[in-house]
């Protein structure tokens, strides 16, 4: 990642573009579901597609206790670590949002860009590398680098601070309600990305 681009912009111009990863730039639902399903099973729990659908856009630190009431911190950490290991073998089940990535490639040389994701850094970097996205971002904020995950705006606020960007002159791209709430709470207008 290079230095953030200059903050000098004309009135009404978008200064910075901030993107979610999972479901926005890359469809990772199938890979994520299979990795979590198998990690749950290894810990003696079931995870149905319907249950997993309710977790989309949320951090596993938040949704695992909701799905498994009474689970302790060690149990949560075991599932999360196991999921991360399994996920690396499922990257071929992810699909790029070609249209949005083409747009990102077009604007990255002239706009400040950030990735703000609830994905853990290890898995997130694997996705970026797999789809050739790593060089397109000035700033990356992963889910394991913040105390409070989306819908909290912490990740977006951190990215804006590093970029030196005005939230009102920025634009966030999100696919989930959780992500949309986080961006709006940071003062950033949101373009909702439909499932592709």
The domain locations on the chain are 16-27+94-192, 29-92
Q: What is the pLDDT of residue 157?
A: 98
Provide the token pair at 60.
């596993």
pTM of the model: 0.85
In the prediction, which pLDDT does 57 show?
82
What pLDDT is recorded for position 1? 53
Please enumerate in sequence order all residues whose Cβ is within 8 A of that of 95, keeping only pairs 6 or more positions apart, or say none: 26, 27, 196
Provide the CATH topology of domain 16-27+94-192: Rossmann fold (3.40.50)
The owner of tokens 């911190």 is 73
> What pLDDT, on the 0 to 100 scale, is given for residue 196?
83
Q: For the sheet with 16-19, list strands across it.
A: 139-141, 112-116, 16-19, 170-174, 190-192
Nearest-angstrom CA–CA distance, 153 and 182: 4
SS3 content of the chain, % helix, strand, coil (to 5): 50, 15, 40
pLDDT values of the chain reduced to their tens digit, one per residue, 196 residues:
555 544 454 566 899 999 999 999 999 999 999 999 999 999 999 999 999 999 988 889 999 999 999 999 999 999 999 999 999 999 999 999 999 999 999 999 999 999 999 999 999 999 999 999 999 999 999 999 999 999 999 999 999 999 999 999 999 999 999 999 999 999 999 999 998 8
Distance separating alpha carbons of residues 12 and 62, to the nearest angstrom? 37
Return the H-helix or E-strand segment holding 38.
helix 29-42
């Amino acid at each position: 990642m290079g230095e953030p681009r200059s903050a000098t912009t004309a009135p009404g111009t978008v200064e910075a573009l901030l993107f979610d990863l999972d479901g926005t730039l890359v469809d990772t639902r199938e890979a994520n579901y299979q990795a979590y399903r198998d990690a749950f099973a290894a810990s003696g729990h079931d995870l149905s597609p319907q249950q997993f659908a309710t977790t989309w856009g949320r951090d596993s630190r938040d949704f695992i206790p909701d799905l498994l009431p009474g689970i302790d911190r060690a149990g949560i950490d075991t599932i999360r670590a196991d999921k991360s290991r399994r996920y690396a073998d499922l990257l071929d089940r992810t699909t790029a949002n070609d249209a949005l990535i083409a747009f990102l490639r077009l604007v990255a040389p002239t706009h400040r860009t950030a990735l703000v994701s609830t994905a853990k850094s290890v898995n997130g970097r694997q996705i970026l590398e797999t789809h050739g996205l790593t060089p397109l971002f000035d700033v990356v904020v992963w889910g394991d680098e913040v105390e409070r995950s989306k819908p909290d705006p912490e990740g977006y606020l951190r990215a804006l601070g590093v970029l030196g960007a005005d939230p009102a002159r920025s634009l966030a791209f999100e696919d989930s309600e959780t992500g949309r709430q986080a961006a709006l709470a940071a003062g950033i207008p949101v373009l909702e990305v439909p499932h592709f």
